[in-house]
Amino acid sequence: MPEKFDVVVVGAGPAGTACALTCARNGLNVLLIERGEYPGAKNVMGGVLYRQQMEDLIPEFWMEAPLERPVIEQRFWMMDKESVISFGYKGLEWAAPPYNNFTVLRAQFDQWFAKKAVEAGALLINETVVTECIVENGKVVGVRTDRPDGEIYADVVVLADGVNSLLSKQLGFHKEFRPDEVALTVMEVINLPKEKINDRFNLEDNQGCTIEIFGDSTKGNLGTAFLYTNKESLNIGVGTTLSSMIKAKLKPYELLDYLKNHPMVKPLIAGGESAEYLAHLIPEGGFRSVPKVAGNGVVVIGDAAQLVNAIHREGSNMAMHSGLLAAEAVIEAKNRGDFSESSLNSYREALYNSFIIKDLEKYKDAAHTFEKYPQYFKEYVPMMNQAASKFFTVDGTPKRDKQKQIIKNMTSEKGTLRVLQDLYRAWKAVK
Amino acid sequence: MSTKNIEEKQYLLRFKCDTKSHLTVLDHDICMTQCPDKICTIFCPAEVYKWEGTRMQVGYEGCHECGSCRIGCPYQNIKWEYPKGGHGIVFRLA
């Protein structure tokens, strides 16, 4: 007699754990399946955890969760080969509760979060791969695992199996992703004493800084780099769309080493000791790549549903919120005793009415625009650096003449019309 | 020290290797005759794929399980599965 649960959740990342936690709190019989040795063993992110969606699940989680530093400063760099244009925001309101976001190390954080789901009553089994969904009469009725006699039945299967989501592909919810729908990102954790981090980034204990780096950080390819401060380490990483990586024939780890040796970056990480190297895909197809998210007896959440806002580097918060919305839909479905697609579509409706899909919809053309027109990263970042250098170098030229010269340089290279077209196109993609 | 190359980076990691590969090149002839770039040998972040003259060597033991090779192979010539439960890469930090 095979075992049957109300809900089987595949994947103990932020999405799956949020869903399992919420279902278990509401009295459902929940099994959470993780393929890694422990939750977090397979999970990677740059490192920013947003407070709001986490607090919706666990009020005042910062009192007990394993966090690194609350982020009080966010910097943005437009970097050329030997220069950088920098802007950002630092505010002490982010240094006190309720905070805005935190840097975290996922292997620790995910274990803690999954423990919360277990404490709420969910059953967690690690080291178990779900090999396929069991489909009977057009309805998902359970999962098959790689354990002996590993068939498990459930009213609802929640697919939180991450960016590669082989399971939602198996169900035909989406085709194989194209190389321009995913970003290949590599990062290193570099240990550095707390005092050095505080000095170099102008921080005090329990204050963190994030830097997003555009331009030469990816050698002008579509992507970004980042440098985040943990308590006693830095996360430094870089990624581009897989299609850009292929087109430019880039080796991702060489790009990472290029970044680490960049004269604008090198002094910040100098003397550090590499502690871990990680590679991962980020689903960056946006709105147009979101697959079908609800079917008969099944819902899809988090990275598996491509819920990432690459422009604002939001992902884990969207994962958690989609997990919460899916759980609410499953609880309603349980009350109705109806787990059909039309019943579970209340998750789809909630998702599409939430900030998640609204934000993805806002930027639906961004990835495509910047992929198709590479000049923004390749040409405009260096151009702006040259303009800034010219404008701020005091050489006796009157400022008005400098301005004219800068504008002339930009338009003579590309033509006034091209520049205006480029500006309009970029504005349209992010407006 | 901060790492300087892929060998040093991979050395930082813990792997619990399965005895069987979770990555399979379906047809080595396609790599040989149709794929001059052998692009997987370039973009794979763990240098899992190495071309050895007539066939593709797959060092699955060092795989990060990112999925890039499955999506990026121009000929859909790579069968990609997860390693057996509890096996493969074990991230300890981020």
What CATH number should be reported for the domain holding residue A233?
3.30.9.10
Q: What is the ipTM of this complex?
A: 0.98
Cβ separation of A249 and B37 shorter than 8 Å? yes
Q: Which residues, at least 6 apart from B37, have a Cβ–Cβ distance to it below 8 Å?
A: A249, B74
Per-residue pLDDT reduced to its tens digit, B30-41: 999 999 999 999
**pLDDT classification of B48: cutoffs 50, 70, 90:** very high
Per-residue pLDDT reduced to its tens digit, A125-151: 999 999 999 999 999 999 999 999 899
Structural domain ending residue among the three candidates A362, A377, A403? A362
Cβ separation of A188 and B68 shorter than 8 Å? no
Residue A94 in domain: no
Q: How far is B62 from chain A (nearest CA, A)?
A: 11
Structural domain ending residue among the three candidates A224, A248, A283? A283
Which residues of B are less than 8 Å from A166 in CB distance? 81-82
Do A157 and A305 fall within a single domain?
yes
When pLDDT is averaged across residues A100-107 and rounded to a whole number, the result is 97
**Of A176, A182, A276, which is closest to B13 when you measure between CB atoms?**
A276
pLDDT at A246: 97
In chain A, what percentage of residues exceed pLDDT 90?
90
**Of A107, A146, A177, which is closest to B93 when you measure between CB atoms?**
A107
CB count, 10 Å around CB of A38? 19
pLDDT at A410: 84
pLDDT at A419: 86
Do A395 and A251 fall within a single domain?
no
Do A270 and A243 fall within a single domain?
yes
Average pLDDT score over chain A: 96
Cβ separation of A36 and B82 shorter than 8 Å? no
At residue A2, does pLDDT exceed 60? no
Number of folded domains in chain A? 3
Q: How far is A22 from chain B (nearest CA, A)?
A: 25
pLDDT at A258: 98
b/e code A45-61 from CB counts within 10 Å (16+ = b): bbbbbbbebbeebbeeb
What is the DSSP code string of A304-371? GGT--BGGGTB-HHHHHHHHHHHHHHHHHHHHHT--SHHHHHHHHHHHHHSHHHHHHHHTTTHHHHHH
Q: How far is B58 from chain A (nearest CA, A)?
A: 17
pLDDT at A1: 39
Domain housing A56: 3-68+104-176+288-362
Do A296 and A308 fall within a single domain?
yes
When pLDDT is averaged across residues A198-226 and rounded to a whole number, the result is 97
- Which residue, among B74, B72, B66, has the nearest Cα to A164 in the 3D structure? B66
Residue A263 in domain: yes
Specify the 3-state DSSP secondary structure of A74.
strand
**Residue of chain B minimizing CA distance to A271:** B1
Number of folded domains in chain B? 1
Domain housing B42: 6-90
Q: Which of A66-75, A224-233, A329-338, A402-411 has the lowest mean pLDDT?
A: A402-411
